[in-house]
Structure 1
Amino acid sequence: MKLKNIFFFLIFCTSGMLKAAVIDTVQTFSKSMEKQIKAIVITPDSYSKGKQFPVVYLLHGFSDNYKAYVTKMQGIEKWADTYDIIIVCPDGGFSSWYFDSPVDHKTKYETYISNELVNWVDKNYKTIKNSNARAITGLSMGGHGALYLALRHQDVFGAAGSMSGGVDFRPFPDNWDIPKRLGKYSENPENWEKNTVVNLLNLYKPKGLALIIDCGTEDFFYAVNTNLHEKLRYLNISHDFISRPGAHDWNYWSNSIKFQLLFFNNFFKKNI
């Protein structure tokens, strides 16, 4: 009797192990930067069933890389199964801020993410190939990058989010290698003014992007996020804004991602 119980237990465990999202590390090529760039692509357990899937792009923060969400946010792959989505974690460089830099012409991460990578993913995976099936979010530098890219490419992304994003970096003129990408603020103020997210809201199209913004009250980016929230309200741009106790760390982001992906799942259900 005990052997039979063990046998069925092993079958149960094995079947459970077989039903899980798959994490792939892939090489993509950026023609604009003339180099290979790695990314992680997470496909849900249902991927083998032949249908097409919406995609969520997750952008990492300053000094991190494409592996950040998998190594520092344990269990991120389960959300691919929960919401039946593909999750893509691209490498955005140590400090690109996801710009096509006006001063460093070897840094073209706007072109890479919004064009080259999206096209590569659509070519190599079973995706739904329109903006209503694409969302983008990120944390810190990646939070800025997600909103920046989505506002500038509303034909590519239909929903966007930010977790503790550096949505207005002008108060931090010497930090996080931003001067390497835009030039010193004192010498190149125009670059800073036209590339900070809070100044891009004029690009928002009526009934356009679905937006969700999240930042902890103890975060050094809290003030700029609340300012962005107030400007969105003033412009009557619909968005979700979440604020709760928390700092600029993985404990906060591991909670934030739950709300971001739920928001995107609702967007996909409504629009696909």
Structure 2
Amino acid sequence: MRYFIVLGVILWNTLSVNAQNQGKVFEAKTLESSILKKERHYSIYLPQGYDTSDMTYPVLYLLHPAGPRNTVPDHRSWLYYGELKHYLDNAIANGDIVPMIVVTPDANYGAKRISYFNDPEGDFDFEDFFFKEFIPHIEQNYRCRKDRDSKAIAGASLGGAAVIQYAVHQPEEFSVACALSGAVRKYDSQYLKGKYPNLSEKILMDWYKPYDVISFFENQPKDAEQNIKWYISCGDDDHLSPNNVMLHTVLKAKGVEHEFRIQNGAHDWTYWRGILPDFMTFISDSFRK
């Protein structure tokens, strides 16, 4: 009997310690967007100790992909497929990364498309929403630090492309940007006409100019001052690996310091889960400095 009592105490203490080392996740938070004219969802991770202190925390804005097939791409993707909470709880408890808030907005426009752009058809200006409504909402409602050195952005696939575009468009917002399997491309008439068949070539060309980050860097002077820590990663079997290599080559030619990874993997959650510790450590090291 005494053996079972002792065993029960040990088990209880173990569970209590584990619970104390866990952060909290809210999967379906909402805000009303006047820009998008609808309610928007997001998920947020608050590190262990958030409820019992008045500390402020650095914040990572983590963007979900538009796929892959047979997945539900929305604000919960990094939690469900990326096993984000499990990683964060363990990495923070072990001291591998600093405690931080991680927030994932939903860029899913129902049956139409997933988009982080200001839509060329004018009915889903997500980039305006992100900077004018979403970030202010997070900063007003959670104890996250607002200085640039305490803010990072990361994302996969279409979210990876948005990471680079957002950091280029608003360089004063983030100190570190991590693009994973980024869907970066120069202007591609066939690709864009397939997505927006009702728009003319001229409208699409003019609209896409701010989102063509490869051309943006090509037109930068060599060794121009950069104040963003860049991390770019892609799987070697990913159909987007040539595009990411092209971006790396341009950055290298222009003297833009960045970390670049081509590793074994495809365009899927197996790859993004696998590199989660690497890019999160990169972000955390930036926050520590």
- Common fold, TM-score beyond 0.5? yes
Contact 1:23–1:40 (Cα < 8 Å) also in 2: yes
Residue among 154, 164, 173 paired with 1:156: 173
Residue among 142, 148, 159 paired with 1:142: 159
Give 5+ residue unaligned stretches, structure 2: 68-72
Separation of aligned partners in 1, 2:60 and 2:168: 16
Instruction: Show the counterpart of 2:70.
Output: none
Separation of aligned partners in 1, 2:125 and 2:36: 6
Tell me the alpha carbon deviations over residues 191-242 of structure 1, each in whole angstroms, 9 at most, x when there is no partner.
2343222123357972311110000111000001000001001111111001
Give yes or no for the alignment of 1:97 onto 2:101.
Answer: no
Tell me the alpha carbon deviations over residues 161-203 of structure 1, each in whole angstroms, 9 at most, x when there is no partner.
11101111535833797437x9465763232343222123357
Give yes or no for the alignment of 1:84 onto 2:93.
Answer: no
Contact 1:41–1:87 (Cα < 8 Å) also in 2: yes
Q: Which has the larger radius of gyration?
A: 2
Instruction: Show the counterpart of 1:219.
Output: 238
Instruction: Show the counterpart of 1:247.
Output: 266
Instruction: Show the counterpart of 1:4.
Output: 6
Instruction: Show the counterpart of 1:32.
Output: 35
Aligned runs of 1:16-95 on 2, under 5 Å?
16-24=18-26, 25-47=28-50, 48-63=52-67, 64-79=73-88, 81=92, 82-94=97-109, 95=113
Assess, with a 3 A threshold, how the Cα gap between structure 1 residues 203 and 157 changes in structure 2: closer, same or farther.
farther
The percentage of counterpart residues that share the same residue type is: 21
> SS where residue 46 of structure 1 aligns?
coil
Contact 1:21–1:77 (Cα < 8 Å) also in 2: no
Contact 1:183–1:191 (Cα < 8 Å) also in 2: no
Aligned runs of 1:101-180 on 2, under 5 Å?
101=119, 103-168=120-185, 170-171=187-188, 173-174=190-191, 178-179=195-196
Separation of aligned partners in 2, 1:115 and 1:58: 17
Contact 1:167–1:196 (Cα < 8 Å) also in 2: yes
Separation of aligned partners in 2, 1:268 and 1:61: 24
Assess, with a 3 A threshold, how the Cα gap between structure 1 residues 172 and 254 changes in structure 2: closer, same or farther.
farther
| Aligned partner letter, 1:62 | A
Aligned-pair Cα RMSD in Å: 2.4
More displaced 10-residue stretch of structure 1: 118-127 or 20-29:
20-29
Assess, with a 3 A threshold, how the Cα gap between structure 1 residues 257 and 170 changes in structure 2: closer, same or farther.
farther
Separation of aligned partners in 2, 1:153 and 1:60: 19
Tell me the alpha carbon deviations over residues 126-152 of structure 1, each in whole angstroms, 9 at most, x when there is no partner.
011121111111100000011111111
Give me the TM-score of the superposition, normalised by structure 1: 0.90
Shift of 1:53: 0.4
Separation of aligned partners in 1, 2:53 and 2:193: 43
Aligned runs of 1:227-266 on 2, under 5 Å?
227-266=246-285
Give me the TM-score of the superposition, normalised by structure 2: 0.85
| Aligned partner letter, 1:254 | R
Separation of aligned partners in 2, 1:169 and 1:248: 19
Contact 1:97–1:178 (Cα < 8 Å) also in 2: no
| Aligned partner letter, 1:34 | K
